[in-house]
Structure 1
Amino acid sequence: MALYGKLETEVEIKASAEKFHEILHQKLHHISNASSDKIKSCELHEGEWGKVGSILYFTYVHDGKVSVAKDLIEAVDEENNSFTWKVLEGDILEHYKSFRIRVKSIPKDEGSVIHFTLEYEKLHEGIPDSHSLLQLCADISKDIEAYLMGNNNEGSFIAKA
């Protein structure tokens, strides 16, 4: 059994790729407004929001328990609406030696497709692939879609283009 793994999924949303990318890249501190049952907080620990080299601290709910993650913004591609986070510390590293999350927002005629890639190295062969974390990413995408499309009580925090 391989210790290295890669899981991918795509989620179709009605919001534009640019708006989705903006919230996950530049306005991540607002994500708990869009997905409060899954993301409790996101704080900037070092650097600037959305900048490569910056460090973020997440408190989130995964598999029914509150978890934390300290992530490095490893790469950003504004032209292609994509970025990569590398997990530096946190609950997920109890099972994985390394863990990266790549997100790409792909424009469509109407809405967009959000492509998630999880790349990881397990600590040992008994660790299962993290399908539940991939599902969490997909579920958060749908929450952000609802928020961006105005299906919330607080109004959109991103100006319409």
Structure 2
Amino acid sequence: MSLFGKVEADVEIKAPAEKFHELFSCRPHHISNVSPGKVQGCALHEGDWGKEGSVIFWDYVHDGKAKVAKEIIEAIDEKNNSITFKVIEGDMLQEYKSLKATVKATAKGEGSLVHWTMEYEKLNESIPEPNSLLQFVLDLSKDLDSHLTQAENELKTPKTPILLSAKMPLFGKVEADVEIKAPAENFHEIFSCRPHHISNVSPGIIQGCALHEGDRGNEGSVINWVWDYVHDGKAKVAKEVIEAIDKKNNSVTFKVIEGDLMEEYKNIKITIQATPKGKGSLVHWTMEYEKLHENIVEPNTLLQLALDLSKDLDAHLVQA
């Protein structure tokens, strides 16, 4: 399997895009005051705050462990409210040969859409994708949004001693790539036309898939995926309708209409696209969702499950 990859996710916030960007680009040393449970400190080692080429040092807690990271600011785009950090020292480099994080805030309605991208190269194949780190920065973004929203409300009504809580948006999207050795059309074909074979390929993840309506490989077919995911230690089920199939671009989109996922999400849509890359392919997973309430976490563990399943299918397709 390839050691290179990329994970992405969006989070909607109420704060203005330029305010969120300014906190990360020019005042990251204030973040520990805003979210002390996640970030304990941020110090400038070289250069100036908000300048490309500057080196900053983070103390943070991830997966219950105190960690450190030294990063260089590779790029700042003030016009597009984007900043890119490259990790050059610290705990992350015990698992990744390289890791680069880009955070971009875009105005959306009265608030913003924050998009995180992490591009990485693992040290070995057993290292997982950095989805828990992605969840960490999404949660951090929410903490920063609460702070920025509260500060803005206090500026508007300075004499009002009421703290206005920022209700987090329920819509979102998570994405990730995985490189495989199998041809794109073969990978696409197994998901669009032969999903009932997947349980034979990856029985530890999928225990069955039955067709309830329509024809395999056609839009509108309702497929009952009995996924004993061993996902979060529980066997689960999902009924999905095929919303779209694009054979030219090796893409298929499923919409969940019944099952365990509906206990947390009002709706969730999954798109899988395989694109030729070198002698193999790049598989891109996208999950768009609406949570039932703001305490539900982003489906990053489900995304990791999909990436692991992709690797199982790749091993089968290459062997065949």
Q: How high is the TM-score relative to the length of structure 1?
A: 0.93
**Which residue of structure 2 lines up, in the alignment, with residue 67 of structure 1?**
67
**Which residue of structure 1 lines up, in the alignment, with residue 267 of structure 2?**
none
**Which residue of structure 1 lines up, in the alignment, with residue 143 of structure 2?**
143
- Report how far residue 108 of structure 1 moved: 1.0
Question: Distance between the aligned counterparts of 1:36 and 1:113, measured in 2?
Answer: 23
Corresponding letter in the other structure for 2:14: K
- Report how far residue 17 of structure 1 moved: 0.3
Question: Distance between the aligned counterparts of 1:97 and 1:39, measured in 2?
Answer: 23
Q: Which runs of 4+ in 1 moved over 2 A?
A: none
Secondary structure of 1:11 counterpart: strand
**Which residue of structure 1 lines up, in the alignment, with residue 47 of structure 2?**
47
Corresponding letter in the other structure for 1:76: I
**Which residue of structure 1 lines up, in the alignment, with residue 260 of structure 2?**
none
**Which residue of structure 1 lines up, in the alignment, with residue 35 of structure 2?**
35
Q: Does 1:124 align with 2:124?
A: yes
Larger radius of gyration: 2
Q: Residue by residue, what CA displacement relative to the aligned partner does 1:15-45 show, whole Å, maximum 9, x if unpaired?
A: 0001000101111110011111000000000
Question: Distance between the aligned counterparts of 2:111 and 2:3, measured in 1?
Answer: 36
**Which residue of structure 2 lines up, in the alignment, with residue 81 of structure 1?**
81
Report the aligned-residue RMSD.
1.2
**Which residue of structure 1 lines up, in the alignment, with residue 307 of structure 2?**
none
Secondary structure of 2:48 counterpart: coil
Corresponding letter in the other structure for 1:51: K
**Which residue of structure 1 lines up, in the alignment, with residue 299 of structure 2?**
none
Structure 1: gaps spanning 5 or more residues: none
Secondary structure of 2:143 counterpart: helix
Corresponding letter in the other structure for 1:138: L
**Which residue of structure 1 lines up, in the alignment, with residue 134 of structure 2?**
134
Structure 2: gaps spanning 5 or more residues: 157-320
Identity, % of aligned pairs?
56
- More relative contact order, 1 or 2 (CA 8 Å, 6+ apart): 1
Q: Does 1:100 align with 2:116?
A: no
Secondary structure of 1:37 counterpart: coil
- Report how far residue 2 of structure 1 moved: 1.3
Secondary structure of 1:149 counterpart: helix
